[in-house]
Amino acid sequence: MNQSLSRLVRDAGDAVPITCVTPESWPRIEAALPGPQAAYARATDFAPKAGRIALLPAADGRLAGVLFGLGDGRDRLLAGKLPGALPPGSYRFAPSENVDPTDAALAWLLGSYRFGRYREAGAERPALAPSEGVDVEAVTRIAEAVALGRDLVNTPANDLGPAEIEAAIRAVAARHGADVAVVAGADLARDFPLVHTVGASSPRAPRLIDLTWGPADAPRVTLVGKGVAFDTGGLDIKPSSGMLLMKKDMGGSAAALAAADMVMGAGLNLRLRLIVPAVENAVSGEAFRPGDVIRSRAGLTVEIGNTDAEGRLILADALALADAEAPDLLVDFATLTGAARVALGPDLPAFFTEDEALAQAVSEAGLAVADPVWRLPLHEPYASLLDSKVADLNNVSGGPFAGAITAALFLRRFAPATRAHVHFDLYGWNPSTKPGRPEGGEVQTARLVHALLARRYPKV
Ligand code: BES
Ligand code: MN
Ligand code: ZN
């Protein structure tokens, strides 16, 4: 079990029952409570609103049960509030038609996460005895993959550079018997010029990590994740406020790795490939410059309009590699633009695809597992905003408009052969704690992609 998570315990014997209540069920449940407990709930102003909690005393003062308000019941991860709010001990959910026991167990684990690398663990966390019928292994696998990804995002850049991103991928690969190839040094400079160019400013060497897993003749799914260990902006340096959180600029690779971990752990019927270009976008005499022109892996020449638009550069070469075999499905994950956050806020990653059926499936999978996303258009007429006077294209548009769309249009140029391509522009961070989503690093869209793939390519 990942140390960052609370425990699932098998024995529900003396576990304290948690009774979930909605505005409709509350009168009936209240009436059935022992008199003193009903009086206690009233005296402490309990109401069946979302996230409200009452700790009910037994006659001897011990904890007899917990009331948990569901409100309108729309937050599927609401139970993720409990592990941070309940005293240590074992709990179980009383059967209720208003809670899905699998959702509740997953939310519990996701909400129990904490990043403990640099501090003594705090108080012991409450444990959950999952309800009958919950696939404990499946839920645990998903929660552990999320915790792994969150740990990577939360780890500061002094302890997580390109080499450590590689090590993290190798560790996951070893657990699942996947193969890993890494391109670095002179080979990288020759074969992945944009990855090399962005990473050349840092003494921590850039690399292209390429994991494969599963039978060669199965449907081919390729995940690509932006692995910028830290984004200073390069010579187009960010102001301090914009740089503060940039350890999370490898959040795309963390989400892709978490999704890969879930897929391999579930043994889905597909051939998986995970490609991560890992670099640090630093400032030095070796740094690439505004105005530089680089010939990309795909052969397209790119004029550098802004060294802070580095994510699309390294992804361009990674996508060209992915596109060469035209996989059945290509998904890329990236903390790509501030513009996507301006449009949709931190909790709602943007996604782009030209495949209408795939767009529908992505939206539905997001809703199904409470990992929501929102589609933005690949508006073709904006492609000309990336025109360059000296090269095939510029890496930025000159103006302030539609930054997430122009970034997506830039990426699309590098994967022309793949018909089913989804691009996620995500934030990778919870600015404040919400149920199941503790403040800090988050692997947005990983559970969505796992759900999508589990539906398309179920284990045989
Ligand atoms: N990593 C940033 C984007 C980002 C910033 C994501 C803040 C989430 C939060 C990316 O490399 C970047 O700097 N993008 C620039 C692009 C611009 C120079 C065209 C941006 O969004 O400002
Ligand atoms: Mn940048
Ligand atoms: Zn970046």
CB-ligand 1 contact for 311 (6 Å cutoff): yes
Q: How far is CA 37 from the centre of its chain?
A: 41
CB-ligand 1 contact for 306 (6 Å cutoff): yes
Ligand 1 centre from 425 Cα, in Å? 10
CB-ligand 1 contact for 403 (6 Å cutoff): yes
Atom of ligand 1 nearest to the CA of 228: 1
Residues 118 and 241 in one domain: no
At which of 134, 152, 180 does a domain end?
134
In a domain, 8, yes or no: no
Q: Give dist(CA 175, CA 167) in Å, integer.
A: 13
Q: Across residues 117-139, what is the average pLDDT?
A: 91
Residues in the chain: 460
Pairing of strands 53-57, 63-69: antiparallel
In a domain, 169, yes or no: yes
Nearest ligand, measured from the Cα of 228: 3
pLDDT, residue 7, reads: 77
Residue with tokens 């640099």: 118
Residues 125 and 273 in one domain: no
pLDDT of 6 strictly over 80: no
**Phi/psi zone of residue 389: left (φ > 0), alpha (ψ -120 to 50 degrees), beta?**
alpha
| Residues pairing with 441 in the sheet | 429
| Mutational pocket test of ligand 1: of 304, 337, 397, 406, the residue with most ligand atoms within 8 Å of the beta carbon | 337
pLDDT per residue over 316-354, tens digit each?
999 999 999 999 999 999 999 999 999 999 999 999 999
Q: Give dist(CA 400, CA 339) in Å, integer.
A: 9
Ligand 1 centre from 238 Cα, in Å? 9
Active-site position among 125, 312, 412, 447: 312
CB-ligand 1 contact for 335 (6 Å cutoff): yes
CB-ligand 1 contact for 386 (6 Å cutoff): no
Residues 162 and 123 in one domain: no
In a domain, 1, yes or no: no
Residues 6 or more apart in contact with residue 113 via CB below 8 angstroms: 4, 5, 143, 146, 147, 150, 438
Active-site position among 238, 375, 434, 456: 238
For 195, the token pair is 């990855």
For 376, the token pair is 């933005």
pLDDT, residue 348, reads: 98
Ligand 1 centre from 335 Cα, in Å? 7
Told to judge if 238 belongs to the known catalytic residues of this protein, a careful annotator would answer: yes
Give the sheet arrangement for strand 90-93, strand by strand: 53-57, 63-69, 16-21, 90-93, 127-128
Residue with the larger pLDDT of the pair 428 and 4: 428
pLDDT of 414 strictly over 60: yes
pLDDT, residue 69, reads: 98
| Mutational pocket test of ligand 1: of 226, 248, 308, the residue with most ligand atoms within 8 Å of the beta carbon | 308
Residues 115 and 170 in one domain: no
In a domain, 7, yes or no: no
CA angle 343, 347, 353 (to 5 degrees): 60
Atom of ligand 1 nearest to the CA of 310: 11
pLDDT of 312 strictly over 90: yes
Q: Give dist(CA 87, CA 5) in Å, integer.
A: 16
CATH code, domain with 87: 3.40.220.10
Distances from the Cα of 353 to the Cα of 12, 172, 185, angstroms: 46, 28, 34
pLDDT, residue 120, reads: 83
pLDDT per residue over 50-103, tens digit each?
999 999 999 999 999 999 999 998 999 999 999 999 999 999 999 999 999 999
Residue 211's nearest CA partner among 153, 170, 255 is 170
Residue with the larger pLDDT of the pair 275 and 398: 275
Atom of ligand 1 nearest to the CA of 311: 11
CA angle 377, 380, 384 (to 5 degrees): 130
Residue 452's nearest CA partner among 350, 356, 369 is 369
Q: Are the CB atoms for 159 and 250 separated by under 8 Å? A: no
Residues 369 and 408 in one domain: yes
Q: Give dist(CA 71, CA 53) in Å, integer.
A: 12
Q: Across residues 149-166, what is the average pLDDT?
A: 98
Residues 299 and 257 in one domain: yes
Q: Give this prediction's pTM.
A: 0.97
Residues 123 and 147 in one domain: no
pLDDT per residue over 266-307, tens digit each?
999 999 999 999 999 999 999 999 999 999 999 999 999 999
CB-ligand 1 contact for 396 (6 Å cutoff): yes
pLDDT of 1 strictly over 60: no
Q: Across residues 7-34, what is the average pLDDT?
A: 91
The share of the chain scoring above pLDDT 90, in percent, equals: 94
Write down the mean pLDDT value for the chain. 96
pLDDT, residue 460, reads: 83
pLDDT, residue 370, reads: 97
CATH code, domain with 354: 3.40.630.10
Residue 178's nearest CA partner among 223, 229, 146 is 223
Residue with tokens 């993720």: 80
Residues 240 and 99 in one domain: no
Q: How would you label 349-387 residue by residue, b for 16+ Cβ within 10 Å and e otherwise?
A: bbbbbeeeebbebbbebbeebbbebeebebeeebbebbe
Distances from the Cα of 53 to the Cα of 21, 23, 43, 255, 437, angstroms: 10, 14, 13, 32, 18
CB-ligand 1 contact for 69 (6 Å cutoff): no
At which of 117, 134, 151 does a domain end?
134
Residue 268 burial class via C-beta count within 10 angstroms: exposed 0-12, middle 13-18, buried 19 and up: buried
Ligand 2 centre from 246 Cα, in Å? 9
Residue 377's nearest CA partner among 399, 400, 350 is 350
The share of the chain scoring above pLDDT 70, in percent, equals: 99
Pairing of strands 350-352, 63-69: unpaired
Q: How many domains does the chain contain in total? A: 2
pLDDT, residue 129, reads: 95
CB-ligand 1 contact for 153 (6 Å cutoff): no
Residues 63 and 184 in one domain: no
For 88, the token pair is 């240590």
Ligand 1 centre from 337 Cα, in Å? 4
Identify the residue whose C-alpha is closest to ligand 1 atom 9: 338
Residue with tokens 């889905």: 268
Lowest mean pLDDT among 113-117, 123-127, 194-198, 371-375: 123-127
Ligand 2 centre from 312 Cα, in Å? 9
Ligand 2 centre from 159 Cα, in Å? 20
Amino acid at 61: G
Confidence band for 3, pLDDT divided at 50, 70 and 90: low
Helix axes 446-456, 136-154, angle to 10 degrees: 140
Residues 229 and 377 in one domain: yes
Residue 257's nearest CA partner among 274, 277, 240 is 274
Nearest ligand, measured from the Cα of 396: 1
pLDDT, residue 2, reads: 64
Q: Give dist(CA 178, CA 209) in Å, integer.
A: 12
Residues 318 and 402 in one domain: yes
Residues 63 and 177 in one domain: no
What range defines the domain where residue 39 resides?
16-134
* Per-residue DSSP letter, 449: H
Identify the residue whose C-alpha is closest to ligand 1 atom 16: 309
Atom of ligand 1 nearest to the CA of 406: 19
In a domain, 6, yes or no: no
Pairing of strands 293-295, 301-303: antiparallel
